[in-house]
Amino acid sequence: MNEVWTQQPLFGITVTVAFYVAAQRLNQRFRWLNPLLVASGGIIVLLLVFDIPYEDYSAGGDIITFFLGPATVALAVPFYKYASKLKGQLLPIAAGVSAGLVCGMAAVLGISILLGASEQIMLTLLPKSVTTPVAIEIAKSIGGIPELAGVFAVLTGLIGSIIGPSFLKLCRIQSDVAIGAAMGTAAHGIGTARILRDSETKGSISAFAMGLSSMLTPLFCMPFIWWLQ
């Protein structure tokens, strides 16, 4: 493969779009396949097989990453659409999001301590459940590793989008409010995009929960940071 060509931004953009389109088509036939997981895995395999440096791919991949912020903000559209119907549910959603964030942070710190993780890794893991750009900035401000925080956030969203709906169904949770709040809190934008395919109502609640968790996470991180110090 032409090394000079792979260093051009067009390479990263073309590869990303091609793999995602292919993953979407596979998902139409095999609904259990997560498009984002398939596309990400395919790109990783391609880079490894042809020994293409990640820096070459990121020349174009970073351009797509730039649009992550606007795409995340666009998830607020479903919430705006159903805002009038959700006014009476705001307090329960806020309480659920707060409880989910605190439990998630406590769980990740407990597991990290048991596995002997360093303090910096623990700080990096704290914002894992918020959308990637926010997780990166929070990790940077509290002494974590921003790049690794982004990886943890993406993995959290992927895992949540894959097992979240099935797990909630297994638990016999049928409320749109409960499902939306759980997905938005635990799996941020990736989970919201997944649940939006099932229901705009669930997606709108998930979008609100995701935005609220992004605002509350820095606040809830503070007691855990003080405890670590």
Q: Residue 188: pLDDT band by 50, 70, 90 thresholds? A: confident
Q: Is 204 within 8 Å of 79 (Cβ atoms)?
A: yes
Alpha-carbon torsion, ordered 114, 162, 135, 206, to 10 deg:
-120
* pLDDT confidence of residue 69: 67
Please say if the pLDDT value at position 3 is more than 60.
no
Q: Which residue has the higher pLDDT, 131 or 45?
A: 45
Range name among 56-70, 89-103, 153-167, 210-224 with the lowest pLDDT average: 56-70
Q: Is 152 within 8 Å of 124 (Cβ atoms)?
A: yes
Range name among 55-59, 145-149, 182-186, 213-217 with the lowest pLDDT average: 55-59
CA-to-CA distance for 183 and 156, rounded, in angstroms? 11
Mean pLDDT of all residues in 178-198: 87
CA-to-CA distance for 133 and 157, rounded, in angstroms? 13
* pLDDT confidence of residue 2: 45
Please say if the pLDDT value at position 137 is more than 50.
yes
Angstrom distances, CA of residue 104 to CA of 113, 166, 193: 14, 19, 21
- Count Cβ atoms within 10 A of the Cβ of residue 149 and give its class: 0-12 exposed, 13-18 middle, 19 or more buried: buried
- SS3 per-residue string spanning 74-93: HCHHHHHHCHHHHHHHHHHH
Q: Hey, where are the domains in the chain?
A: 3-66, 74-228
Please say if the pLDDT value at position 1 is more than 60.
no
Per-residue pLDDT tens digits for 106-131: 999 999 999 998 999 999 999 998 88
Alpha-carbon torsion, ordered 141, 150, 228, 185, to 10 deg:
100
* pLDDT confidence of residue 27: 82
Smallest CA-to-CA distance from 42 within 30, 66, 24 is with 24
